[in-house]
Amino acid sequence: MESMAVAFPVKPGKAQEWRDRGREFRGARRNEYLAFRRRWGLTVNRLYFQHTPQGDLAVFYLEGHDLQRAFQYLRTAQDPFAAWLRQHTLDLFEGFDLTNHHWKRSPSWPLMHRAWKMMKRGTAP
């Protein structure tokens, strides 16, 4: 199982639109979203909104069987949900263009999760 966490700045003035799009995932686009998760083996998908003095952040946490394959699909797929999701990321987030991300592996790793496991085993430094 792979996991990743990434954060992207929400474009100025787009915080409410980001919240509205989140409601679409839970409402009008729920079935498309769930079908995407099943098809690409995403087992956990959490989205967070973080307000900071420097600006708002969208924080994404994903777990799945093959995240690289899921992102490859999002880069190239022509189905309506994938196209909508690509446009959604371009409209709302600074520096997050799904057509140009080619992660070979996760850009993040779970520091606290690893530290917690080490402490439980009694091997923490």
Q: Which long-range contacts (CB under 8 A, 24 or more apart) does 88-93 make?
A: 88/21, 91/11, 91/14, 91/17, 92/10, 92/11, 92/14, 92/17, 92/18, 92/21, 92/58, 93/8, 93/9, 93/10, 93/11, 93/58
The token duo for 10 is 């929400």
**pLDDT range class, residue 12, cuts 50, 70, 90:** very high
Q: Of 3-7, 75-79, 93-97, 119-123, which range is least confident?
A: 119-123
**Does residue 29 register a pLDDT over 70?**
yes
pLDDT, the chain, mean:
80
Q: Each residue of 93-115: pLDDT tens digit?
A: 887 777 776 554 445 555 555 44
Q: Which domains does the chain have, with CATH numbers?
A: 2-121 (3.30.70.1090)
**Does residue 54 register a pLDDT over 70?**
yes
